[in-house]
């Protein structure tokens, strides 16, 4: 996709999204960590529904005319919970298609927001195909998890808010699934702040796309797959990443588990594997900060099975 044909998403569109979503979402706090992994954390896992996804969901719904059939979304869990929550708050029906790998805790979140949960295959790509078929039959409007201008602009409000509240950042580390969050944040920061993506080794759609020069399918095998398990990044996400994302680094699952435990031990933060993935890059040395570099790390999600988290922390 050329710059000429790419839908425009930049600071103006993200500022407009912030005006829409601010009455409906939380302004999440910052936390400074000292020690070997010195950084500033943006605690977006404290957002409504437990992830940044509510920002894109509200911006999408507030930017469109929603039909009587309501909305539909395919999700590993977090996007679906956010769409169901936003739809419920705004008075719309929501059908959410999830893969079998979606955690019970995330499915419970969708149902708590009165979303109609439907199982759509074993992986996100299959859930997306089922969602698209339902949309065609029912007339419901679809909200894409990452490859849509309104979603990207909504997620970009994280960066707008962070820059306004921070004393200054040189670099931000951002976990990547399909690419909606990192492309939205990069579109806001442009060249003012270095944006670095972090993906699990077993789920690296953006890294593979940047290597190939275009979106490609990847195999998914990671403990963070229920949140970072997109098989293929989007065209729009990749176009923005090519322009504004400085690098994408990969971390093994063990580094993510270690980062989960470290966030609890050092800051008493309970997060899901995806929420610890960006911190894993800094804590494991996959990303090495230069002397004096002011690094920010996005903690993006809190929705995990309590029994699994308890076993890890024990």
Summarize pLDDT for 15-30 with one digit per residue, the tens. 999 999 999 999 999 9
pLDDT above 90 for 201:
yes
Alpha helices, DSSP H, located in 91-224? 104-112, 124-138, 149-165, 180-189, 205-212
pLDDT in tens, 207-254: 999 999 999 999 999 999 888 888 899 999 999 999 999 999 999 999
The CA R_g of the chain, rounded to the nearest whole Å, is 18
pLDDT at 267: 94
pLDDT at 309: 66
pLDDT at 229: 82
Contact 179, 207 (CB under 8 A): no
Long-range contacts of 44-49 (CB under 8 A, 24+ apart): 44/158, 44/298, 44/299, 44/300, 44/301, 45/269, 45/271, 45/272, 45/275, 45/299, 45/300, 45/301, 45/302, 46/302, 48/24, 48/82, 48/85, 49/78, 49/81, 49/82, 49/85, 49/109, 49/113, 49/303
Beta strand pairing status for 116-119 and 141-142?
unpaired
pLDDT at 184: 98
Contact 60, 150 (CB under 8 A): yes
pLDDT in tens, 75-84: 878 899 999 9
DSSP 200-216: ETT--HHHHHHHHTS--
pTM: predicted TM-score of the whole model, two decimal places? 0.92
Contact 166, 40 (CB under 8 A): yes
Q: What is the spatial distance between Cα 251 and Cα 25, in angstroms, rounded to a whole number?
A: 30
Mean pLDDT, rounded, for 148-174: 97
**Is residue 157 classed as helix, strand or coil in its secondary structure?**
helix
pLDDT at 128: 86
């Amino acid at each position: 996709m050329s710059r000429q044909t790419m839908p425009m998403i930049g600071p103006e569109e993200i500022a407009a999204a912030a005006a829409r979503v601010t009455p409906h979402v939380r302004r999440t706090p910052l936390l400074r960590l000292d020690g070997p992994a010195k950084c500033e954390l943006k605690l977006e896992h404290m957002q409504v529904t437990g992830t940044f996804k509510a920002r894109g969901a509200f911006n999408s719904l507030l930017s469109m005319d929603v039909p009587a059939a309501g909305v539909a979304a395919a999700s590993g869990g977090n996007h679906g919970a956010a769409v169901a929550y936003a739809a419920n708050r705004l008075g719309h029906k929501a059908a959410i298609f999830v893969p079998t790998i979606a955690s019970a805790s995330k499915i419970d979140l969708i149902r708590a927001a009165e979303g109609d949960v439907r199982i759509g295959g074993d992986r996100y790509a299959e859930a997306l195909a089922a969602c698209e078929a339902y949309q065609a039959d029912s007339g419901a409007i679809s909200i894409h998890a990452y490859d849509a201008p309104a979603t990207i602009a909504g997620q970009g409000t994280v960066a707008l808010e962070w820059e306004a509240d921070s004393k200054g950042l040189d670099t931000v580390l951002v976990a990547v699934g399909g690419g909606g969050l990192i492309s939205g944040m990069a579109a806001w920061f442009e060249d003012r702040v270095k944006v670095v993506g972090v993906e699990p080794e077993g789920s690296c759609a953006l890294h593979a796309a940047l290597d190939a020069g275009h979106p490609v399918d990847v195999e998914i095998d990671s403990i963070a797959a229920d949140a970072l398990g997109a098989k293929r990044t989007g065209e729009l996400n990749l176009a923005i990443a090519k322009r504004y994302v400085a690098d994408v680094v990969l971390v093994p699952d063990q580094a993510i588990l270690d980062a989960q435990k470290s966030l609890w031990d050092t800051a008493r933060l309970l997060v899901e594997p995806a929420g610890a993935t960006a911190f894993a890059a800094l804590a494991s040395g996959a990303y090495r900060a230069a002397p004096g570099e002011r690094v920010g790390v996005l903690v993006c999600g809190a929705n995990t099975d309590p029994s699994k988290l308890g076993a890890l922390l024990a």
